[in-house]
Amino acid sequence: EVQLLESGGGLVQPGGSLRLSCAASGFTLKNYAMRWVRQAPGKGLEWVSTISVDGAGTYYADSVKGRFTISRDISKNSLYLQLNTLRAEDTALYYCAKTSGDSFDSWGQGTLVTVSS
Amino acid sequence: QSALTQPRSVSGSPGQSVTISCTGTSRDVGGYKYVSWYQQLPGKAPKLMIFDVTERPSGVPDRFSGSKSGNTASLTISGLQAEDEADYHCCSYAGNYIWVFGGGTKLTVL
């Protein structure tokens, strides 16, 4: 059974940093592109970032480009998202998602990031 | 990277059919066969219901169907059941390794 478990969220001041983790089980990370999606309180979903199957390609939404970095550790079967220069508008529940073609076929339960002074 | 447009809410009675629209542009919905739909129950993670415009993952009831015409994709739920009450989100590939979601639609089963 595919499982994704996010961690690393919390309360951070504007301008601060956080590193989110997503531990995968039930499948091998290196065989799939992976994505991060966020959901601000009471709002819709927003695609944040993708890492390609071979890990060489990384892609970002304009709203986070230059501030967030996606990465993975195959040996730990884990996905990461480094969040820098955080803003109030980055406050959201952050989900990691496994891809199937161009869809998001498995999701974690999310980790909450709150940016506030 | 503008969000796709969905109605904020739709409703229907048990047994009826409802359709949720998702409008984009020729650069996303109209340009690719990569529209997907997600069901999000209250307090839960999204669940894939439709991919590649019309395809259903294993385990999703055939009451759920997808379609597309021009720049608008649609999710139709027939034989509405109380357990279908949830938020529904559409998503489309927009080229250049970018994906865009809609704002989400709240489905109420009366």
Probe site for chain B from A102, A106, A109 (most B CB atoms < 10 A)? A102
Q: Are B88 and B73 in contact (CB under 8 A)?
A: no
Output the six-digit token pair for A8: 């690393």
Distance between CA atoms of residues B102 and B110, nearest Å:
24
The phi and psi torsions of A69 (rounded to 5 degrees) equal -135, 125
For residue B1, pLDDT over 70 is answered with no
Q: Which of A63, A95, A101 sits opposite B52 (nearest CB)?
A: A101
pLDDT digits (tens, 9 = 90+) for A34-54: 999 999 999 999 999 999 999
pLDDT digits (tens, 9 = 90+) for A77-95: 999 999 999 999 999 999 9
Q: How close B84 comes to chain A (CA, Å)?
A: 18
